[in-house]
Amino acid sequence: MQQYFINKKININDEIELNEDVLYHLIKVLRKDSSYIFRICDIDSKIYEAHLIDNKRCRIIRLLDENNELKNNITCILCLIKSDKLELTIQKLVELGIKRIVLYKAVRSVLKIKDTKKIDRFKKIVLEAAEQSHRNIIPELVYVDKLNDLKQYLSKNNYICYESENDIVDIKVDDSITYIIGPEGGFEDNEYQKLCDLGFESISLGKRILRAETAAIYMSSIIVSKSQ
């Protein structure tokens, strides 16, 4: 069942005007009419069933008792990689349940963010993935280009996935978690040391060298499997 987010509080029997993007998707893309029932998630993260009244409005039918979020707040700091791979990784992280994605311009990052259009594109991917996976929230996505600014996104447990590390640490999921994935080519030595000084614990994801997008999804899967 299709889901959309709405930035207001709603109640059963409310009649709501839908925004242009939602209406376009429902009527032009999915070709739905007033018989179609869909999901709406409001500003309080409550999910309702609704049906179309006409080509502008819907009526809220009932509240769904659903909480599809993980018990832990998980932040992925994802160094910028090639755009197509980055978009896919963002989509999968949202589907897996990550609460916040921090895009970081590492020393060896190939992709350059020159204006807000690219960030807006990434945020649209987050929104669509949250709708598709029936999230109760739209995960936060932010962009950081200075290493020291990453301090504000630290959690109780912080990990840096590093290809030269040999220790496979037992990842703690007793509280909030932040982990960072490097770009193509990995971290520069000086950059890696600064991240460790910032509070990240260095861990290995195994003997094989993983691509950045694979490492991000793999690490998320490990954490999510312990956080359900």
First CA to last CA across the chain, in angstroms? 23
Q: Which residue has the tokens 């080509």?
A: 55
Interval 150-178 mean pLDDT: 82
pLDDT of residue 36: 87
Q: What is the pTM of this model?
A: 0.91
User: Is the pLDDT at 168 greater than 70, yes or no?
Assistant: no
The pLDDT-based confidence of 115 (bands split at 50, 70, 90) is confident
Distance (Å, rounded) from C-alpha 60 to C-alpha 37?
10
User: Is the pLDDT at 170 greater than 90, yes or no?
Assistant: no
The pLDDT-based confidence of 169 (bands split at 50, 70, 90) is low
Q: Are 56 and 18 in contact (CB under 8 A)?
A: yes
- Of residues 144, 97, 103, 150, the one with CA closest to residue 123: 103
Question: What pLDDT digit, counting tens, does each position of 193-224 carry?
Answer: 999 999 999 888 877 878 899 999 989 998 88
Interval 168-183 mean pLDDT: 83
DSSP H/E element including 101: strand 100-104
pLDDT of residue 181: 94
User: Is the pLDDT at 167 greater than 90, yes or no?
Assistant: no
pLDDT of residue 124: 96
Name the CATH superfamily, with its identifier, for domain 3-64: Hypothetical PUA domain-like; domain 1 (2.40.240.20)
Give me the chain's average pLDDT, please.
90
Distance (Å, rounded) from C-alpha 205 to C-alpha 203?
7
pLDDT higher for 90 or 1? 90
Interval 182-197 mean pLDDT: 91
Distance (Å, rounded) from C-alpha 121 to C-alpha 117?
6
User: Is the pLDDT at 91 greater than 90, yes or no?
Assistant: yes
Question: What pLDDT digit, counting tens, does each position of 125-162 carry?
Answer: 999 999 999 999 999 999 998 999 999 999 999 999 87
The pLDDT-based confidence of 165 (bands split at 50, 70, 90) is low
The pLDDT-based confidence of 26 (bands split at 50, 70, 90) is confident
pLDDT of residue 228: 65
Q: Where are the domains of the chain?
A: 3-64, 74-227
**CATH code that applies to domain 74-227:** 3.40.1280.10
